[in-house]
Amino acid sequence: MREAHKTEATEDYVELIDDLICVNGEARLVDVASRMGVTQPTASKTLARLQRDGYISSEPYRSIFLTPMGKSLADESRLKHEIVFEFLQTIGVSKEAAKRDSEGMEHHVSDETLKAFKKLIRQYKS
Kindly list the residues in this chain that would bind its own copies in the complex (CB under 8 A).
1-2, 4-5, 8-9, 88, 91-94, 97-98, 100-101, 103-105, 107-110, 112-113, 116-117, 119-120
- Considering beta carbons, is residue 12 or 31 the nearer one to Mn ion? 12
Minimum Å gap between C-beta 17 and Mn ion is 12
CA distances 19 to 22, 77, 83, Å, are 5, 11, 17
For the chain, counts of helices (H) and of strands (E): 7, 2
Minimum Å gap between C-beta 114 and DNA is 22
- Considering beta carbons, is residue 40 or 110 the nearer one to its own copies? 110
Q: Interface residues for DNA in 23-62 (CB under 7 A)?
A: 28-31, 36-42, 44-47, 49, 58, 60-61
Minimum Å gap between C-beta 96 and DNA is 21
- Footprint of DNA (CB under 7 A): 1-2, 6, 8-10, 28-31, 36-42, 44-47, 49, 58, 60-61, 63
